[in-house]
Amino acid sequence: MGDNHQVNILLVDDQPAKLLSYEVMLRELGENLVMAGSAKEALEHLLKKEIAVILIDVCMPELDGFELAAMIRNHPRFQTTAIIFVSAIALTDLDRLKGYEYGAVDYVPVPVVPELLRAKVRVFAELYRKTRLLEGLNAELERRVAERTAELAQANAELERRVEERTREREVALAQVHEMQKLESLGQLTGGLAHDFNNLLMAILGNLDLLAKGAPDEAAAARLVDGAIKAAERGAMLTKRMLAFARRQELRPETVDVARLVNGMADMLRRSLGPAIEINLDFAPGLAAIRVDPNQLELSLLNLALNSRDAMPQGGRLTIAARSEKVEGGRLQNLAAGDYVCLAVTDTGCGMDEVTLKRAAEPFFTTKGVGKGTGLGLSMVYGLAAQSGGLTRISSQVGVGTTVELFLPVAPAAAAPSRPPRSDGAAAAPSSSVLLVDDDPMVAGGTVAMLRHLGHRVIEASSGAAALEILEAQPVDLVITDHAMPGMSGVELAERIRRSHPGLPVILATGYADLARGEDHGLPRLDKPYRLEKLAALIASLIGEKPTPRAVTPLPLAASEEPRESRSGGGFSAEDVPVLRRTSG
């Protein structure tokens, strides 16, 4: 509606002469005048047209002006329409008050002053026009805002799409860079690993070569066998470190008393670090037990201690402390709120500068020379903490020393700390018939020799299908199966045996084959590499122990025999490979 657009003014009076006089008075306004001779006719005009101002005579037959105004006000469309009463009779203050109560905006007495009436009607007509104009502008504004909002929403959606696309591209690029860095790191590590494994193989092959040629006495033979075993154990520990770094090493968490575990390591630490390093243990009273793999924790602490030793070539002090920590949400990044035990290893060594500190946990990063360090020790510590639901934090200052803190979650209150006692001997089991299933002839040959040494009768099968055929043909007391085999895995074979021969014990022997706990269906497991006493103990637990276990003498390692997994979690990682010296003659 424009500023000059005519508006409708409704004149209501039952006397035609008065309607004519109103028309003459208001004609000068230039608005559209609508006449109604009764209340009924007025209501009809209201329903058909947009009315800006209504002039109503108070005294009319059928419905008076007050009643007509009440009806108009009750209609939602006309609650704000301007109503002006005109009367020659109802002129008291009570009449005026009644008119305002019925919704009038003004009350004009008769005789009417033309100029005054025109001024009053002009004001309300202009107010109506401006109101309609503002309503139109507001509607247009809302329409434009809606259009702009839709455009902004579309632009925002497009921006989010582009951001997501760029983010994906960036993540892919970063992953590619990470893989390139890992490949580069692996290339840099090749020399060190080749040096380490060549030393290990030299020790194993040299000792076995001398043993094969015949040792002068039993003591010399024992030393040669012991040297080969220790070298093999070092290889197993190096493999375990690499798996832990990759966060693919399967953990076996237990409820652990930190103080008891570290105190049990004290002698080993003193032997490993030497007399120049002073070792202090500081544990807060009332420490709660934690949930962690004890072997991996021992290995982590040993790695940290060895790093500290290397940082203190002239000697120094190593402190292993533990305290309780209640972590609030968001206090430490990537650490859930809860109760933790903070295990801190602090040395007084040379410390690290900012650049070295930032790279300290990178895989394969080491400041040591070739063959003196793999760069996996600290990465393994980070992997253990992360897999255990905790966090590793490092602080260091050049010339002052380094502190590594492991935040490990407190075990549930119902669990009691326990560590199975270490056994130096193997448990003995009654002589039994054992079905051995393995597709690797070298591994199978070594295991057969171990089983026969334990007094068992061994039947060999190179696949799961062959094993099932043997079981249908003859009874056995126990099945030992490899897991990763072509055609049928060890777990699948065990399930078939459970259905066809319920109650027949099955042992799953596996190296690392992406088999997590729970995926093995609760089968007893032998983790490769394993030693004779561990094999004997597991068989005894399944078949039954004799009252007096017999001692097992160590065998010379055959080419197919695999080294054992260290229960101490890396006790030999600090030792050099035994050096073989040939004497003349």
pLDDT for 519 equals 61
| One-letter amino acid of 310 | D
> Half-sphere exposure of residue 166, counting CA atoms within 13 Å on the CB side?
6
Strands (E) in 207-258, as ranges, are: 254-256
Kindly report whether the peptide bond that precedes residue 417 is cis, defined as omega within 30 degrees of 0.
no
Distance spanning both ends of the chain, measured CA to CA: 122
Distance CA 169, CA 20 (A): 82
Tens digits of residue pLDDT in 354-395: 877 777 666 555 665 544 454 556 777 877 888 888 888 888
Show the tokens assigned to 499.
Answer: 């259905």
Alpha-carbon distances, residue 183 vs 179, 186, 372 (angstroms): 6, 5, 21
Q: Which residues contact 466 (CB under 8 A, 6 or more apart)?
A: 437
DSSP letter for each residue of 540-561: HHHH---SSPPP-PPPPPPTT-
Structure tokens of 161? 């799409």
Structure tokens at 398: 């050049």
| pLDDT at residue 370, as a whole number | 45
- 507 and 478 Cβ atoms separated by less than 8 Å: yes
The domains of the chain, with CATH numbers, are 8-136 (3.40.50.2300), 252-409 (3.30.565.10), 433-543 (3.40.50.2300)
Nearest to 561 by CA among 289, 232, 274, 295: 232
Dist CA 57 CA 84 (whole Å): 9
288 touches 410 (CB < 8 A): yes
Burial (CB count <10 Å: 0-12, 13-18, 19+), residue 382: buried
CB 447, CB 438: distance < 8 Å: yes
Alpha-carbon distance of 536 to 190, in angstroms, equals 37
Quick count: other Cβ atoms within 10 Å of Cβ 221?
17
Strand 433-437 versus strand 478-482 pairing type: parallel
SS3 assignment, position 180? helix
**Rounded percentage of the chain residues whose pLDDT exceeds 70:** 75
Contact 7, 52 (CB under 8 A): yes
Cα(57)–Cα(52) distance, integer angstroms: 17
Task: Quick: pLDDT tens for 283-325.
Answer: 998 899 998 888 888 888 888 888 888 889 888 999 999 999 8
**pTM for the model:** 0.41
SS3 state at 336? coil
Return all residues near 564 (Cβ < 8 A) that are at least 6 apart.
229, 232, 233, 236, 529, 530, 531, 534
Q: Give just the sign of the alpha carbon dihedral 482, 486, 492, 497.
A: negative
Q: Supply the pLDDT for residue 105.
A: 87
Q: Which among 424, 477, 423 has a CA at the least distance from the CA of 455?
A: 477
What's the pLDDT at 429? 66
- In angstroms, the Cα distances linking 406 to 324, 325, 378, 515 are 12, 11, 11, 27
Give the tokens for residue 510: 């596996």
SS3 content of the chain, % helix, strand, coil (to 5): 45, 15, 35
What letter does residue 410 receive in the DSSP assignment?
B
Question: If 0-12 CB within 10 Å is exposed, 13-18 middle and 19+ buried, where does residue 16 land?
Answer: exposed
DSSP, collapsed to helix, strand or coil, labels residue 139 as helix
Q: What does each C-alpha distance from 40 to 23, 488, 532, 535 come to in angstroms?
A: 20, 97, 113, 110
- φ/ψ bin of 389: left (φ > 0), alpha (ψ from -120 to 50), beta (otherwise): left
State the pLDDT at residue 368.
59
CA distance 407 to 393: 8
Phi, psi of 318 (to 5 degrees): -115, 125
Q: Are 545 and 429 in contact (CB under 8 A)?
A: yes
| Residue 78: alpha-carbon gap to chain centroid | 63
What residue ranges of the chain have pLDDT lower than 70? 1-4, 177-203, 205-207, 210, 213-216, 234, 237-251, 330, 360-377, 414-429, 512-521, 544-585
- Contact between 507 and 450 (Cβ < 8 Å): no
- Report the alpha-carbon distance of residue 34 to residue 266 in Å, rounded: 109
User: Alpha helix (H) ranges present in 2-113?
Assistant: 16-26, 39-48, 65-74, 93-101
